[in-house]
Structure formats: structure tokens, C-alpha cells
Amino acid sequence: MSFLEGAVVLVTGASRGIGRAVALRFALEGAHVIALARNVEALESLDDEIADLAGQCTLVPMDISDGPGVDRLAEQIFERHGKVDVLVGNAGQLGVLGPIGHVSPTVWDRVVQVNLTANWRLLRSFDPLLRASCHGRAIFLTSKVGHVALPYWGAYSVSKAGLEMLVRVYAEETKGTSVLVNLVDPGPVHTDMRFEAVPGEDKSKLPLPTAITNIFVELSAPDCRHHGALLRANA
């Protein structure tokens, strides 16, 4: 039996790409997956796949930037489960790549809201639920451009840099507790966001999202020792 059997796992951005693959992997490991995303049709498809695995899934169709909605979700999960064992902050927004001076305020605000502010709101709302778990784990997706300055990645790069610092600060605040929080840089992966960012890339050479899910299981383990770390997923 997997150590994740019966665990309560919340995955944001679960309708496609890496989030979908991670949700399916946790369901396969026996966890009850709470899948959050905007696309209802894609969520229902995910639910069907998890049912085919004899897994359990709760669908949450909402925009991760809905702060009050995140607060309500935390309250509902607490009432039903009393805890969250694993929180995977995967939802992300690429925005528009180009010179910083060409990025519109609307695009900038949306990218920062989804990639940074929404994850702060998740931690704010779900911190008590993670602490209520015997082995609370929070895992957030970042990118190379969050810690390496590259031109034209503008809002996305800045938002991921902010996310990395947010996670490191939270790691300092949870030292000595049962909660562990870490960052995962998936590297280039066969996803829609990757194709949007690098349209000329040879897709056939990129690993599928299903190939990088091991690290999420490893970081969720009771004997995990990583805390405040940034780890690269290995396909």
C-alpha cells in the first residue's frame, strides 16, 4: 500500500499538462485528489480518468485568482477532511513574452495575480490545514526564468522569482513543524504553455508530463527531508 493511500491532495491547474499528470499520479497512488481548474469540461474528463483508475476525485471549477473563493474552499475542505496532506501549486499564466516596456498593465497584473498572489492566498488559507496533517507537504512549480534573468520573459519571470522567495520565506516560518514546502522546476516539458513560449521547438524531443511525476510523490513522502529547496524534475 502506498503511503499516499487516503491522503487528501489539492492540485491547482489540474485540467491539463503537468497538473493533470500529477493529479492522475496521486490518484493512482490512492490519494483523494481535489482538482482545481477553470475548464469544467477538462475537469470532468480528468474525473473520468481517475474513476477508471478506481480513484477518488473532487472537482473544483474556479479561477485560482478568486481569493475569497480560495478561502471558502479551505473552509469546505476543513469541514469535510479536517486537513490537507499535499498541496500542489501548479496553476500558472505565461502572459505575453516581449520587452518589459511593451507589456500591458492588464497582462502584467494577471500574470502576477495567478503566479504569485494566488499562491500566497493558497498558503494563507491552507496553512492551518497543512499543519493539521501528520506530514503536510506543499509543492510549487517554478521555472528556470524565476532564478536566471533572460530577456523578454518579463512578468512571468518576475512572478516566478517572487514565488520562489514566497516559498523560501514560508519554509523558514515552518521550520520545526511537520510541514515541508519545496519548489520544483520541471524544465522543458511537452505542454501547451511550453509550445506557446517556444513555438519553434521540436515537440518530439520533450518529455511528457507523466514522465516527471515521480518527484511530486517523493516530496510528499513522510521521510522527505527537503525543505525550502528548489529541485529539478528528471524525466
Closest of 114, 200, 199 to residue 155, by C-alpha: 114
Give which of 227, 214, 222 is closest to 28, Cα–Cα.
214
Q: How far apart are CA 120 and CA 104, in angstroms?
A: 23
SS (H, E, C) 187-224: CCCCCHHHHHHCCCCCHHHCCCHHHHCHHHHHHCCCCC
The total of other beta-carbon atoms located within 10 Å of residue 51's CB is 12
Provide the annotated active-site residues: 156
Q: Which of 75, 180, 83 lies closest to 132 in space, CA to CA?
A: 83
CA distance 132 to 206: 38
- CB 121 within 8 Å of CB 47: no
Contact 186, 212 (CB under 8 A): yes
CA dihedral sign, ordered 177, 84, 92, 55 = positive
